[in-house]
C-alpha cells in the first residue's frame, strides 16, 4: 500500500471546483477527522493507481457522515490547517506531519498501513515512523551521566576483565561533554561512590576527569552482586537533574545472585522514567535475561562484550550516543475513539521493545508510552487498535499518534502527529493486501521470539523444539534480509535450506556465540527506502 496521508483529503473536487480549498476549510475537515467521523461510501469501490492510502478517488460517491466516536481536535493541528499554506498541504499529501520547535529537533511522523478492512473486521495495524533531525546541536541540551562498574569478586577472574573495565571507564570519562555532570559508581552487593566520594554529580572538566580517572585506577574487585543497589544509587544521583537528559551505563560480569528477582524488579520499576540505562555484559558468566530486563525497563540497549579488549570502544560509543541526544522524556501519545482499544504498542526499529504495559493514561481516550531521549535518529512503532467492526463503506479515524515532549512544568509540547484510519470495503483485492511495513515488522518481532524460544529450548534439552524454532528464525532472517542475525544463527545451527528453514543444531556452540545471538535477537533491519511507497 502507499504511504499514509495523515489527514483526510482537503476537497472532493479538483482545483476551482465545489470542493476547492478556501481559508478555513482544511481546519473543518481536520476537526471532522479528529472526531472520528464515519463516512458511508458506495460499495464496489476500487483502488486506482499509486495514490496515498487515505486519498479518496475523485469519482467515488459523496459520503454521508455518521458519527462513530468523538474526540477533541488537536488544537495545534487545526490551527496549522487553518493557515492554509501550500507547503503545509504538500506535506499532508506526502503522509507526513512536520513540526519545528525552537531549540528542539525537527520531528516528522509518517504512518504506513493498509486501512482497508473486510466487512466485520475489527483490528487495525499501522507502522508509525518517527524521524528527528535538525536540532540546534547537542551542546544546547542539558545532560547528566552515571557509570556503574561491576567490582564484585568475579571481576578478578581473569584479571584482564577488571583492567578492561578501568580502561573502558576512563574512555567514557573522556567522551563526556565539557560541563556535563557525572559520577562513577562501583557495584557489588552494595552501590559505592568511586568519584566523587559523596553522592552528587560533578561537572566534567580537565580537573574532574583527572580526579575521576585516578579514583578508577584504584578500583579492586571484591564482594557480591546486587544490581538493585547500583540502580538505587544512580537514581539518587540523578535527583535534582530532572531537566537533563539522564543516561547511565551498567557493566557486569556475573549473575545478580545476592538478591531476589523481585528486588531487582522493584528497583527497575522505581527507576522507570527517571533515566535510561545501557547494559553490557563482559565475558560469558552473566545472565542475558537479567540485563535485558533492566535495559527494557529503562529504555536502553543490551549487548555482550565477549572480548575485554573491545570494551573501551563500546563505552566510548555509548557516551557519544548519549551526548548526541537533544530532547529528553519524549512520549508517544495515542488517542483512540470511544469503543476502541489499543491492543499493543511495540517499538520495532532499531530493536523490538514492547511498550504495551508502559501506558500512562492522560485522558479518557488517550495514553502515553515512553520513548526516552531523542537526537538525530529514526524509530518505527507498530500500533494495533481494536475497533468496533464496520460495514462496507464505513470509514473512521482509528487512532491519532502524537509525539509529545514534557517541559519542566509537566506540560506536553506537540512535536508531530499522524492518523491511523479504518475503511471497510467489499473489495477483497484491497482488504487482503498486507502493508509491506506491517508485514516486515511483524516478521521481525516473530524472529526475535523464535530465537529466544529456540535458545531456551536448547538449554532445556528440548532439541526438537529448538530445531523448529531456530529453523523458523533462519527462514525469517533470510526472507527479511537481516544479514547480521543470519550470521549469528549460523554459529548455532547448520543451515541446510534458509528458504524452508531446514537446519540442524550444532553439536558444539561456544557460550559467547549463543549469548551474542540471544542479546542481539531483538535488533531489526528496516524496510528499504525503495520499499516504502
Average pLDDT of 425-434?
96
What mean pLDDT do residues 228-251 have? Answer: 98
What's the burial of 36, exposed, middle or buried (CB within 10 Å: 0-12/13-18/19+)? buried
Q: Tell me: do 310 and 332 sit in the same domain.
A: no
Per DSSP, the three-state class of 51 is coil
Is the predicted pLDDT of residue 375 greater than 60, yes or no?
A: yes
Q: Which residues does 310 contact at the CB level (< 8 Å), separation at least 6? A: none
Same structural domain, 332 and 257: no
- Using DSSP's 3-state secondary structure scheme, residue 141 falls into coil
CATH classification of the domain holding 457: 1.20.120.1690
Residue 309 pLDDT: 87
Torsion of CA 473, 474, 479, 483, to 10 degrees: 110
Residue 50 pLDDT exceeds 60: no
**pLDDT for residue 140:** 64
What residues make up the domain containing 489?
437-531
CA atoms of 533 and 530, how far apart (whole Å): 7
Q: Are residues 444 and 425 in the same domain?
A: no
**Rounded Cα distance, 30 and 177, in Å:** 44
Higher local confidence (pLDDT), 352 or 308: 352
The mean pLDDT value of the chain amounts to 84
**Residue 52, pLDDT score:** 35
Write down the pLDDT at residue 270.
98
Sort residue 468 into left (φ over 0), alpha (ψ -120 to 50) or beta. alpha
Domain boundary among 399, 433, 467: 433
245 alpha-carbon distance from chain centroid: 17
pLDDT of residue 93: 30
Task: Inform me whether the pLDDT recorded for 285 exceeds 80.
Answer: yes
- Can you give the pLDDT at residue 383? 99
- Residue 51 pLDDT > 70: no
| Domain boundary pick from 305, 323, 341 | 323
Contact 222, 251 (CB under 8 A): no
Angle made by CA atoms 28, 32, 35, in degrees to the nearest 5: 135
**Same domain membership, residue 315 and residue 170:** yes
pLDDT at 527: 87
- What is d(CA 279, CA 324) in angstroms, rounded to the nearest whole number? 18
Q: Which residues pair with 250 in a beta bridge?
A: 148, 279
Query: Are 60 and 160 within one domain?
Result: no
Residues 236 and 192 in one domain: yes
User: Using CA atoms, how far apart are residues 138 and 142, in angstroms rounded to an integer?
Assistant: 8
**pLDDT (mean) for 430-449:** 97
Pick the more confident residue, 97 or 298: 298
Q: Which residues, other chains included, contact 194 with Cβ-Cβ below 8 Å and sequence gap of 6+? A: 149, 183, 184, 185, 186, 212, 215, 216, 219
Read off the CATH number of the domain in which 209 is found: 3.40.50.410
Cα R_g (the chain), whole angstroms: 25
What pLDDT sits at residue 49?
34
**Judgement on whether residues 95 and 110 belong to the same structural domain of the protein:** yes
Residue 102 has pLDDT above 50, yes or no: yes
Residue with cell 568511586: 194
Our count of domains for the chain comes to: 3
Q: Determine contact, residues 202/208, Cβ cutoff 8 Å.
A: yes
Asked if pLDDT for residue 99 goes beyond 70, the answer is: no
* Rounded mean pLDDT, 378-406: 97
Residue 10 has pLDDT above 80, yes or no: no
**Model pLDDT for residues 134-170, shown as the tens digit of each residue:** 655 556 689 999 999 999 999 999 889 999 999 999 9
Q: Which CATH number belongs to the domain containing residue 362 in this structure?
A: 2.60.40.3670
Tell me the mean pLDDT in the region 211-227: 97
Please say which residue of 323, 346, 374 terminates a domain: 323
Mean pLDDT of 216-245: 97
Amino acid at each position: 500500500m502507499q504511504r499514509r496521508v495523515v489527514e483526510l483529503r482537503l476537497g472532493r473536487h479538483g482545483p476551482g471546483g465545489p470542493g476547492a480549498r478556501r481559508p478555513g476549510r482544511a481546519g473543518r475537515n481536520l476537526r471532522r477527522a479528529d472526531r472520528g467521523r464515519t463516512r458511508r461510501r458506495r460499495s464496489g469501490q476500487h483502488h486506482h493507481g499509486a495514490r496515498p492510502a487515505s486519498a479518496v478517488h475523485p469519482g467515488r460517491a459523496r459520503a454521508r457522515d455518521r458519527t462513530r466516536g468523538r474526540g477533541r481536535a488537536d488544537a495545534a493541528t487545526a490551527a496549522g490547517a487553518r493557515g492554509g499554506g501550500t507547503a503545509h498541504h504538500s506535506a499532508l499529501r506526502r503522509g507526513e506531519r512536520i513540526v519545528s520547535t525552537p531549540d528542539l529537533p525537527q520531528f516528522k511522523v509518517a504512518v504506513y498501513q493498509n486501512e482497508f478492512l473486510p466487512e466485520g473486521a475489527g483490528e487495525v495495524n499501522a507502522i508509525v515512523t518517527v524521524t528527528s533531525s535538525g536540532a540546534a546541536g547537542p551542546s544546547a541540551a542539558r545532560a547528566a551521566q552515571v557509570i556503574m562498574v561491576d567490582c564484585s569478586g568475579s571481576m578478578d577472574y581473569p584479571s584482564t576483565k577488571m583492567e578492561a573495565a578501568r580502561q573502558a571507564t576512563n574512555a567514557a570519562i573522556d567522551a563526556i561533554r565539557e560541563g556535563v555532570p557525572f559520577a562513577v559508581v562501583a557495584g557489588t552487593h552494595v552501590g559505592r561512590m568511586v568519584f566523587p566520594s559523596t553522592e552528587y554529580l560533578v561537572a566534567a572538566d580537565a580537573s574532574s576527569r583527572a580526579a575521576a580517572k585516578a579514583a578508577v585506577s584504584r578500583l579492586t574487585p571484591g564482594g557480591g552482586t546486587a544490581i538493585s543497589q547500583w540502580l538505587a544509587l544512580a537514581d539518587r544521583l540523578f535527583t535534582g537533574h530532572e531537566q537533563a537528559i539522564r543516561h547511565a551505563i551498567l557493566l557486569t560480569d556475573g549473575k545478580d545472585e545476592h538478591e531476589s528477582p523481585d528486588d531487582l524488579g522493584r528497583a527497575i520499576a522505581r527507576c522507570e522514567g527517571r533515566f535510561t540505562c545501557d547494559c553490557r555484559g563482559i565475558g560469558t558468566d552473566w545472565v542475558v535475561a537479567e540485563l535485558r530486563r533492566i535495559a527494557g525497563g529503562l529504555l536502553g540497549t543490551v549487548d555482550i562484550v565477549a572480548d575485554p579488549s573491545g570494551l573501551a570502544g563500546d563505552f566510548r560509543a555509548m557516551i557519544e550516543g548519549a551526548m548526541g541526544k537533544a530532547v529528553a522524556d519524549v512520549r508517544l501519545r495515542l488517542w483512540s475513539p470511544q469503543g476502541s482499544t489499543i491492543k499493543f504498542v511495540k517499538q520495532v526499529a532499531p530493536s523490538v521493545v514492547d511498550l504495551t504495559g508502559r501506558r500512562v493514561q492522560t485522558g479518557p481516550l488517550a495514553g502515553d508510552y515512553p520513548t526516552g531521549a531523542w537526537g538525530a535518529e529514526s524509530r518505527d512503532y507498530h500500533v494495533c487498535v481494536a475497533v468496533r467492526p464496520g460495514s462496507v463503506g464505513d470509514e473512521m479515524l482509528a487512532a491519532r499518534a502524537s509525539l509529545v515532549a514534557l517541559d519542566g512544568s509537566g506540560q506536553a509540547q506537540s512535536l508531530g502527529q499522524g492518523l491511523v484510519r479504518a475503511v471497510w470495503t467489499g473489495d477483497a483485492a484491497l482488504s487482503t493486501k498486507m502493508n509491506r511495513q506491517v508485514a516486515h515488522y511483524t516478521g521481525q518481532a516473530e524472529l526475535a521470539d523464535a530465537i529466544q524460544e529456540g535458545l531456551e529450548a536448547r538449554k532445556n534439552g528440548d532439541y526438537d523444539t529448538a530445531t523448529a524454532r531456530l529453523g523458523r528464525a533462519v527462514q525469517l532472517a533470510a526472507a527479511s534480509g537481516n544479514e547480521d542475525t543470519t550470521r549469528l544463527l549460523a554459529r548455532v545451527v547448520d543451515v541446510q535450506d534458509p528458504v524452508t528453514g531446514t537446519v540442524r543444531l550444532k553439536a558444539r556452540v561456544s557460550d559467547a556465540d549463543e549469548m551474542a545471538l540471544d542479546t542481539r535477537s531483538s535488533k531489526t533491519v528496516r524496510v528499504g527506502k525503495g520499499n516504502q511507497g
